[in-house]
Amino acid sequence: MEWHKYNGEVIRIPINEAVEEIIRKEAHVGNKLKVYIGTDSQVKRGIVEFATVIVFLREHKGGFMFIQRDKKPHRMSIKERMLIEVQKSIEIAYHLCPLLDQYHIDLEVHADINTNPNFQSNVALKEAMGYIMGMGFIFKAKPESFASTACANKVVQ
């Protein structure tokens, strides 16, 4: 699956190379980065559309993101869909972790799961938190999970 920038430009090199280019470029101009990874999904006409984002925030200077989209047939429960979102985020976080560690860049994994039990997505909260934290990543859920709830959400709407 291909990655692209928010403006639609396709990233034609492996994602870890593209991320390393960004890290070096931003460091060269004196920017300190933090990276946030999140996935959101939307069911449309029997298909689940997923969007995974890598959000780069410059300290006090805005940010940008890389996006990957995917589709699957909609034959899953809400809990399964939430856990697939988490799995997609963890896969890219795990892939990028050595690179981010090398450059001392903080990483958070964001889940589009509500901490309020009155919302459907809450059924996956404990498993998602255990999965993400068990892999050694910092976990954030709603309302603190902007990478998934705002950035990835904007891509799948």
Examine residue 14 and say whether the peptide bond preceding it is cis (omega within 30 degrees of 0): no
Alpha-carbon distance of 88 to 37, in angstroms, equals: 9
pLDDT tens, residue by residue, 2-32: 999 999 999 999 999 999 999 999 999 999 9
Alpha-carbon distance of 4 to 99, in angstroms, equals: 19
Alpha-carbon distance of 135 to 90, in angstroms, equals: 8
Average pLDDT in the chain? 94
Assigned token pair, 120: 């459907």
Instruction: Find the helix packing angle between 78-102 and 125-134, rounded to 10°.
Output: 20
pLDDT tens, residue by residue, 66-96: 999 999 888 889 999 999 999 999 999 999 9
Q: Is 72 left (phi over 0), alpha (psi -120 to 50) or beta?
A: beta
Confidence of residue 98 (pLDDT cuts 50, 70, 90): very high
What average pLDDT does this structure show over 25-47? 95
- The structural domains of the chain, with segments of one domain joined by +, span 3-156
Give the full edge-to-edge strand order of the sheet including 3-5: 10-11, 3-5, 63-73, 47-58, 33-44, 106-114, 138-142
Contacts of 102 (CB under 8 A, 6+ apart): none
pLDDT at 74: 80
What average pLDDT does this structure show over 117-141? 90
pLDDT at 76: 87
pLDDT at 136: 92
Assigned token pair, 68: 């990957």
pLDDT at 4: 96
pLDDT at 142 over 80: yes
